[in-house]
């Protein structure tokens, strides 16, 4: 199978590429071609472990570049679109890049896949498209009610994928994951931000009252879910992928502090809440569980492994830390 992975130098995309090539996903792979713009969050260092694999190739470029897509898309059996701007705070201060990549870029990828008759396409989304939920969990047929420019841009991309399936019959499925964590995550995200701050003897900034709830999903489990959708997902369908670990931000902060031997009163700084901050996310992932998915990593084990990875790989994150 010949894979094209857009955004394959980012946190989740690179994990998927490494796992395709090291055999841990159990997929038949003859080629993995990565297309990535290498913005601040894209990093060829994320792909260093497989850089010498003869099945791997890389091209730097923008998914919104239709001419480039006509060069790189043909000949692939599967296109997995990870390419996205993803940081909510950045979307609040500057939404335009999010619209260009997450909406216009997604449309360009879909058009190229249609022109070149790609047999399988999976578009990677987020549970943030649902907005906020007070109780219960979102199933895939819940309305999309995004509350940040980032989430709105991702919802628009997903709706384009749905429309291309309905209009053109394209074999595209979408996924909606909960909050990811693990190695190689850019240090603006909450877990690596807190861990690296504490390593530098800096306080961790906790938004508002710290009671916002997220479901935490290790990137290993996320990419296993994605591969299940690649291989067995229904074209036109969306699939929630959850970790099954709901924590409010105070609980998450306390776990990280305990793991790193730091006291709350000395190392936590309460800061003004994020604009439009969603209170709680929770996904019902029974649809993908029916295909054989279940999280394999316990949070207690995986958060410790993640912290150790950042301790052992300071040379990776230090140049990225503002």
Question: How confident is the prediction along the chain (322 residues), in pLDDT tens digits per residue?
Answer: 999 999 999 999 999 999 999 999 999 999 999 999 999 889 999 999 999 999 999 999 999 999 999 999 999 999 999 999 988 889 898 999 999 999 999 999 999 999 999 999 999 999 999 999 999 999 999 999 999 999 999 999 999 999 999 999 999 999 999 999 999 999 999 999 999 999 999 999 999 999 999 999 999 999 999 999 999 999 999 999 999 999 999 999 999 999 999 999 999 999 998 898 999 999 999 999 999 999 998 999 999 999 999 999 999 999 998 6
Angle at which helix 249-259 crosses helix 299-312, to 10 degrees, equals 60
The tokens 């060069």 sit on which residue?
71
Instruction: Tell me the catalytic residues.
Output: 127-128, 150
Name all domains of the chain by residue range, CATH numbers in brackets: 2-181+216-241 (3.40.50.720), 190-213+246-280+297-320 (3.90.25.10)
Rounded-to-integer distance, Cα 75 and Cα 170, Å: 16
Rounded-to-integer distance, Cα 262 and Cα 284, Å: 34
H/E run at residue 95: none
pTM of the full predicted structure? 0.96
Rounded-to-integer distance, Cα 22 and Cα 51, Å: 12
In the chain, the N- to C-terminal Cα span, in Å, equals: 40
Strand residues in the chain grouped as ranges (E) = 2-6, 31-36, 56-60, 78-81, 120-126, 172-177, 179-181, 204-207, 213-218, 238-241, 246-248, 268-271
């Amino acid at each position: 199978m010949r894979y094209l992975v857009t955004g394959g130098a980012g946190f989740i995309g690179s994990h998927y590429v490494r796992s395709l090539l090291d055999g841990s996903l159990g997929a038949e792979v003859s080629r993995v071609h990565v297309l990535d713009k290498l913005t601040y969050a894209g990093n060829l260092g994320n792909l260093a472990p497989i850089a010498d694999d003869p099945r791997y190739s890389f091209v730097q470029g923008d998914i919104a570049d239709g001419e480039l897509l006509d060069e790189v898309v043909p000949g692939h059996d599967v296109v997995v679109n990870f390419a996205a701007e993803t940081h909510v705070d950045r979307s609040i201060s500057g939404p335009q890049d999010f619209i260009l990549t997450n909406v216009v870029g997604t449309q360009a990828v879909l058009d190229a896949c249609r022109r070149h008759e790609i047999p399988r396409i999976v578009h990677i989304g987020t549970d943030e498209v649902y907005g906020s939920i007070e109780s219960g969990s979102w199933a895939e047929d819940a309305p999309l009610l995004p509350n940040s420019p980032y989430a709105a841009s991702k919802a628009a991309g997903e709706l384009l994928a749905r429309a291309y399936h309905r209009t053109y019959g394209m074999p595209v499925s979408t996924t909606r994951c909960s909050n990811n964590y693990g190695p190689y995550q850019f240090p603006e995200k909450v877990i690596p931000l807190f861990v690296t701050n504490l390593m530098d003897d800096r306080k961790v900034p906790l938004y508002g009252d710290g009671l916002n709830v997220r479901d935490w999903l290790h990137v290993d489990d996320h990419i296993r879910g994605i591969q299940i959708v690649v291989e067995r997902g229904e074209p036109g369908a969306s699939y929630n992928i959850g970790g099954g670990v709901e924590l409010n931000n105070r609980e998450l902060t306390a776990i990280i502090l305990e793991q790193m031997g730091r006291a709350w009163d000395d190392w936590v700084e309460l800061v003004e809440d994020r604009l439009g901050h969603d209170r709680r996310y929770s996904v019902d992932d029974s649809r993908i569980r029916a295909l054989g998915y279940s999280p394999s990593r316990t949070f207690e084990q995986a958060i410790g492994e993640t912290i150790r990875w950042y301790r052992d790989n300071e040379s990776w994150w230090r140049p990225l830390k503002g």
